[in-house]
Amino acid sequence: MMKAGNLFADCPDAAAGETTEVLAAFRGARVERIVSRGQASPPGFWYDQARTEWVVVLSGSAGLLIEGEAAPRVLAPGDYVEIPAHVRHRVEWTDAAQPTLWLAVHGE
């Protein structure tokens, strides 16, 4: 069965909390739409994922801190990062004035 849609359609406001929706999942990869608005990783929390993640910001903005880097990377629309497996990272901030729409691909 074929699936189709629009990444910007029915996009939640996310003011009440970040939302994650799996858009596609198939052997070796999962694609998610993430919507944030003012959310950040909890203090002291680091993501340490077993799979590589590729993420792009489509709207809004965010600060992504990679362990060992001096300052967060500021991501604006079109900016992407490939985060290898087990590279610790955290979201320092997301735009509080508007939703930040991310597309994340989790692979092998």
6-24 pLDDT per residue, tens? 999 988 888 888 999 999 9
Q: What is the pLDDT of residue 11?
A: 87
Among the ranges given (2-6, 63-67, 80-84, 101-105), the one the predictor scored with the smallest mean pLDDT: 2-6
27-42 pLDDT per residue, tens? 999 999 999 999 999 9
- Judge whether 2 lies within some domain: no
- Judge whether 8 lies within some domain: no
Looking at the DSSP bridge assignments, the partners of residue 11 are none
Give this prediction's pTM: 0.91
- Judge whether 80 lies within some domain: yes
Handedness of CA 71, 62, 96, 105 (dihedral sign): negative
Q: Is the pLDDT of residue 90 over 80?
A: yes
- Cα–Cα separations (whole angstroms), residue 48 to 16, 24, 26, 105: 25, 22, 22, 15
80: which 2 tokens?
């992407």
74: which 2 tokens?
């500021």
In the chain, how many domains are there?
Answer: 1
Percent of the chain at pLDDT above 70? 100
Percent of the chain at pLDDT above 90? 89
Query: Which residue segment(s) compose the domain that 41 sits in?
Result: 19-106
CATH number of the domain that 67 lies in?
A: 2.60.120.10
